[in-house]
Amino acid sequence: ARGIQHTAVRQAHRKHEPDFHDKYGAMVLLGGAAMFTTVWGYVLTQLNIEWGFSPVGRITPREWKE
């Protein structure tokens, strides 16, 4: 039991080594947010999307062909 306690204490006091998320987590998050904003900014401003979903007044019937 003493050996397990010593091992637990040693592991608790060892220096924490930064992993990928510690090193790059904020940069990846900010990069993703910038990419998201850029793409949706382009989609909403440059593509000619008609935002009204109602077809009333836009669709005219064609002549009937027999």
Residue 32 lies in a domain: yes
Overall number of domains in the chain:
1
Residue 15 lies in a domain: yes
Residue 33 lies in a domain: yes
- Per-position DSSP letters for the chain, written without gaps between them: -HHHHHHHHHHHHSPPPP-HHHHHHHHHHHHHHHHHHHHHHHHHHHS--------TTT--PPPP--
Residue 58 lies in a domain: no
Question: By residue range, what is the domain housing residue 32?
Answer: 1-47
Mean pLDDT, to the nearest integer, of 12-40?
A: 86
Asked whether residue 15 carries a pLDDT value surpassing 70, the answer given is no
Residue 62's pLDDT is 77
pLDDT band per the 50, 70, 90 thresholds, residue 13: low
pLDDT band per the 50, 70, 90 thresholds, residue 3: confident
Residue 3 lies in a domain: yes
CATH number of the domain bearing residue 16: 4.10.51
pTM of the full predicted structure?
0.48
